[in-house]
Amino acid sequence: MPTADDQHQDSSKSSANPASNPANGPQGGSRRAARLRRNHPGDGPPPAGVLVLDKPSGMSSMTAVSIVRRKAGLKAGHAGTLDPLATGVLVIGVGKATKSLDRFMKTRKGYRTEIDLSAFTATDDREAELEPVEVADPPSPDAVSAVLAEQFTGEFMQVPPDFSAKKVQGRRAYATARKGESPKLEPRPVMVHEIELESYEWPIATVRIACEKGFYVRSLARDLGRVLGTGGHCASIRRIAVGPFTIEQAVDPDDLPAETPLDRFIPLQDALRMLDSTP
C-alpha cells in the first residue's frame, strides 16, 4: 500500500514494459510528439508547469501521473503519494518542474478524515476486514477533542502503519505485513500544527489536520482509538491542501482534455513564488 508523503515519483522512470502500452506504438509516439511540439514548439525555455489534481478514490497516485503525462505529452511526477482510497490534492509537475518536486513535498499538508471509532483494521483504513470493538460508553465530543489537543498536537512520536512503504532492514513494511508478520516499525517524530474535531456522531469523528511531511493520517486513527479505548480506522481521507495549493484549485482527471495544453498548468515560476509566500 502506498503511503502519504514518502517520496515523489517521476513517471519517466517507470520500469513498466513500454511495449505493453498501445500508446507507445508508432501512432502513440506520433501523438506524443505532436503534443510535445504544441507544448514546446522549440523556441523559448523548456516547458515546466504544475497541475493541482483532485485524485479520486481507487486511483493510485502513479496512475494519476500517467494520465497527466499522456495528455500533456510531457514527463511528469508527483509531490507526495496519496493512498489509493484517499482523495484530494495531488500536486503534479510536468516537464522541467519535475526537478522541483522535492520543494513541494516539504510544504505543510492539510487533511480531512472520517475516523470510525467502532473498529480497528489491519491497514488502518477500509481496505481490510473490520475488527469491531465493543464500546459500552462511547466517548463524548469533548473527550475526543481533548485527546486530539493534548496528545496529537505539536511534535510527537508516531509509528507508521504496518501497511506502509517504510523500509525495515531493506524491505517494505507492507510486504512483511502481507505475510501476516509484524514489520516492527520504529516511532518517528511528526509535527501537527492544528487539529480540530469538526463533527462527531458516534462512531464517526470528522477531523481536520494541518501537518508537516511524514505524518500518517491512518496512524492517527489507530492511535486515537487506542487512547480512547475504542476502535479506530480511517473511513475516508481527503487531502485538502499541499502548501499554497488547495482543493478549490484542483481539477478532476476526467475533466482534462485528451490533449491538455500547457496553459492549463500553473507556470513553474508562479508556483515557486506561491510556495515562497506560504508560511
Strand partners, 189: 157
Close Cβ partners of 30 (under 8 Å, ≥ 6 residues apart):
none
Count other C-beta atoms under 10 Å from residue 88's C-beta: 24
| Alpha helices for the chain (secondary structure H) | 26-39, 61-72, 101-105, 141-151, 173-177, 217-228, 268-276
Instruction: Tell me the catalytic residues.
Output: 83
3-state secondary structure of 214: coil
C-alpha span between 189 and 10 (Å, rounded): 27
67: Cβ contacts below 8 Å, ≥ 6 apart: 253, 256
116 with 228: CB under 8 angstroms?
no
Rounded Cα distance between 126 and 128, Å, is 5
Q: Nearest-5° angle of CA 205, CA 173, CA 151?
A: 35
Instruction: Tell me the β-bridge partners of 160.
Output: none
Q: Which of 101, 103, 105, 93 is nearest to 47 (CA)?
A: 93
Length of the chain: 279
Which three cell numbers mark 27? 501512432
